[in-house]
């Protein structure tokens, strides 16, 4: 009896800290950029079983669901035990998630060439191969309370994942230093900062309004003193983004700020509806508080403002200093912050300044970040292949004769510091339920 041979498709397995349908942050945007080079299997954080019985949930009749959600990206959704972020349930949740991932890989005939983990509470799945990449997108330990997570669980999970990872990447230089020092991670940490997309602004000759704009989530990360100083100065403010605050004191200050006569709050808007506002806002604001969590962060909004050709005023954070550009005005206190906003609004903007900002942002696109990311994966694979060859004499080949390393490329001309990214395949496969 002949056995039918199946060809497994290689895929980048991405285990994020957010669901596909959540706010589109670092995980989502990096995955979309990576999908231009390699197929991505995105694994949603598991859904507690009690939520699956709600009307409209497609997981009610199955434990694992696999569907295509974007070109080159297939999503896995699965169920888990209630309270899986609590100590005692985490191990059970990890077992169930690992099993769901293996089920999805098997049903879709996929083989992971790398496993990217960017969740503060998930672990690398058991029984799944591929280069293990831990991508730390925030100081999860410092921000555990902000994210409503158990700090001991986050600390323990991070420590174990650092021990198991082949590659550790961090979103900011400061966070890389934290990982090396506070968590005793002596190996090199790869820097993969947040990126941006260059929007189509249409008529770039349109004049900007004499106002300031804040785009993003409204929560405890903001330094309300900076926003209140701008509001007190009488500057018209346009605020776009959802409220995700939890602290009552922060809630009261946000209530008062958003109710001010010179503040317009539009709430959360779809990405397609942001472009007109990005083209008209006079000055973009990045008003983050000086906290351990924020010092390790890399605010998305700063590069997004620059990509829209917008002047920017930011609080003094390591990530802003790392950008090392005079195109971002850095303020040290509330008075300075409001004065910088007024200064930029008083000075006329022109096409050359807008082009300079967009040109700078073009160096930091998500496509460029994806190339850097895949270069780090390739380097780790090449190093592992070299070590294997040194001990086994197989010249970097697996027992089946295939090479351990992989090459990737897109239609662009981006380069990594040590690797040219070459095209491996174009993948467009419809997902199916299992």
Q: How far is CA 104 from CA 65, 78, 113, 115, in A?
A: 8, 10, 15, 14
418 to 245, 263, 287: CA distances (angstroms):
43, 48, 36
Residue 412: the pLDDT is 36
Out of 53-57, 165-169, 347-351, 425-429, the most confident range is 165-169
pLDDT at 58 (0 to 100): 57
Beta bridge partners of 324: none
pLDDT at 2 over 90: no
Looking at residues 281-286, what average pLDDT do you find? Answer: 97
Pair of tokens at residue 385: 């292949």
Please state, in angstroms and rounded to a whole number, the distance separating the CA atoms of residues 104 and 82.
22
Whether 169 and 191 have beta carbons less than 8 Å apart is answered as yes
pLDDT of 48: 79
CA distances from 404 to 105, 302, 377, 394, 397 (A): 19, 38, 11, 11, 6
Tokens 């100081």 locate to 139
Of 101-110, 201-210, 246-255, 359-368, least confident by mean pLDDT is 201-210
- In 10 A of CB 298, how many CB atoms? 26
Contact 278, 199 (CB under 8 A): yes
Question: What does the pLDDT average to over 345-360?
Answer: 92
DSSP helix/strand/coil, 425: coil
Please tell me the total number of residues recorded for the chain in this structure.
Answer: 434
pLDDT at residue number 185:
65
As a whole number, the mean pLDDT across the chain is 85
Give the orientation angle of helix 300-307 with respect to helix 351-361, to 10 degrees.
130
Q: What are the pLDDT digits (tens) for 72-121? A: 999 999 987 766 566 667 788 888 899 999 999 999 999 999 999 999 99
**pLDDT for res 284:** 98
* DSSP string for residues in 210-275: S-EEEES-BSTTB-HHHHHHHHHTT--EEEES-B----HHHHHHHHHHHTSTTEEEEE---GGGTH
Between 185 and 46, where is the model more confident?
46
The CATH code for residues 212-363 is 3.40.50.2000
Q: Which of 336, 338, 269, 274 is nearest to 310 (CA)?
A: 274
Is 212-363 the same fold as 9-195? Answer: yes
Q: What are phi and psi of 405, to 5 degrees?
A: -80, 165
Average pLDDT of span 305-327: 96
More confident position, 198 or 431: 198
Provide mean pLDDT across the span 118-133. 95
Provide the token pair at 264: 């317009």
The pLDDT assigned to 230 comes to 98
Measured CA to CA, the distance from residue 142 to residue 86 in angstroms comes to: 18
Q: What is the mean pLDDT of residues 144-168?
A: 92
The DSSP secondary structure of 265-330, one letter per residue, reads EEE---GGGTHHHHTT-SEEEE-B---HHHHT---HHHHHHHHTT--EEEE--HHHHHH--TTEEE
Q: Is the pLDDT of residue 326 over 70?
A: yes
Closest-CA residue to 431 (of 16, 3, 105): 105
The confidence score (pLDDT) of residue 148 equals: 86
Q: Which pLDDT band holds residue 52 (cuts at 50, 70, 90)?
A: low
In the predicted structure, residue 424 carries a pLDDT above the cut 50: no
* 344 has a pLDDT exceeding 70: yes
DSSP per residue over 167-209, as a string? EEEESSHHHHHHHHHTT---S--EE----B-----S-TTSPPP
Q: What is the 3-state secondary structure (H, E, C) of 74-140?
A: EEEEEEECCCCCCCCCHHHHHHHHHHHHHHHHHHHCEEEEEEEEECCCCCCCCCCCCEEEEEECCCC
Reported as a pLDDT band with limits 50, 70 and 90, residue 428 is very low
Confidence check: pLDDT of 50 > 80 = no
Confidence category of residue 321, pLDDT binned at 50, 70, 90 = very high
With 80 as the cut, is the pLDDT of residue 323 above it? yes
Lowest-confidence segment of 52-56, 98-102, 181-185, 196-200 by average pLDDT: 52-56
- The pLDDT confidence band at residue 5, using thresholds 50, 70 and 90, is low
SS3 (DSSP) at 46? coil
Instruction: Please state which CATH number belongs to domain 9-195.
Output: 3.40.50.2000
pLDDT at site 384: 82
**Residue 408: per-residue pLDDT:** 47
Confidence of residue 387 (pLDDT cuts 50, 70, 90): confident
**What is the C-alpha separation between 264 and 345, in angstroms, rounded?**
18
**Vertex 30: Cα angle to 25 and 35 (nearest 5):** 135
What is the average pLDDT across 197-205?
Answer: 73
220-231: average pLDDT: 97
Write down the pTM of the prediction: 0.85
Per domain, the residue ranges of the chain are 9-195, 212-363
Averaged over 128-142, what is the pLDDT? 96
Question: What is the token pair recorded at 94?
Answer: 């990890």
Strands 237-240 vs 212-215: parallel, antiparallel or unpaired: parallel
Letter string b/e over residues 148-163, b meaning 16 or more CB atoms within 10 A of that residue's CB: ebbeebbbebbeebbe
């Amino acid at each position: 009896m002949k056995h039918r041979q199946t060809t497994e498709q290689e895929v980048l397995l991405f285990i994020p800290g957010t669901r596909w349908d959540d706010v589109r942050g670092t995980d989502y945007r990096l995955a979309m950029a990576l999908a231009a080079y390699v197929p991505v299997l995105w694994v949603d954080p598991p859904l507690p079983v009690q939520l699956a019985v709600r009307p409209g949930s497609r997981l009610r009749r199955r434990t694992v669901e696999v569907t295509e959600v974007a070109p080159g990206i297939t999503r896995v959704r699965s169920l888990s035990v209630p309270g899986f972020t609590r100590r005692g349930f985490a191990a059970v949740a990890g077992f169930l998630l690992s099993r769901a991932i293996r089920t999805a890989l098997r049903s879709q005939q996929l083989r992971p060439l790398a496993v990217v983990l960017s969740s503060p509470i998930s672990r690398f799945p058991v029984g799944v191969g591929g280069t293990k990449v831990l991508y730390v997108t925030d100081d999860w330990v410092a921000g555990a309370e902000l994210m409503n997570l158990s700090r001991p669980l986050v600390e323990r999970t991070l420590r174990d994942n650092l021990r198991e990872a082949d590659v550790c990447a961090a979103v900011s230089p400061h966070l890389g230093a934290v990982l090396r020092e506070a968590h005793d991670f002596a190996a090199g940490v790869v820097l993969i900062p947040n990126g941006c997309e260059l929007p189509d602004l249409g008529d770039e000759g349109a004049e900007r309004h004499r106002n300031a704009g804040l785009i993003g989530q409204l929560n405890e990360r903001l330094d309300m003193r900076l926003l209140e100083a701008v509001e007190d100065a009488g500057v018209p403010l346009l605020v776009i983004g959802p409220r995700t605050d939890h602290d009552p004191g922060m809630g009261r200050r946000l209530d008062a700020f958003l109710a001010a006569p010179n503040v317009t709050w539009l709430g959360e808007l779809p990405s397609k509806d942001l472009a007109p506002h990005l083209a008209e806002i006079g000055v973009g604001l990045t008003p983050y508080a000086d906290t351990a969590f924020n010092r390790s962060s890399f605010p998305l909004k700063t590069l997004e403002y620059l990509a829209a050709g917008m002047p920017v005023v930011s609080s003094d954070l390591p990530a802003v200093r790392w950008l090392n550009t005079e195109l971002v005005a850095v303020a040290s206190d509330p008075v300075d912050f409001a004065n910088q906003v007024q200064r930029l609004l008083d000075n006329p903007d022109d096409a050359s300044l807008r082009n300079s900002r967009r040109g700078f942002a073009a160096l930091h696109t998500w496509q460029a970040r994806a190339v850097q990311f895949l270069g780090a994966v390739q380097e780790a694979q090449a190093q592992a292949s070299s070590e294997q060859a040194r001990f086994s004499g197989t010249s970097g080949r697996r027992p089946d004769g295939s090479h351990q390393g992989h090459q990737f490329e897109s239609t662009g001309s981006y380069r990594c510091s040590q690797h040219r990214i070459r095209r491996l395949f174009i993948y467009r496969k419809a997902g199916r339920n299992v």
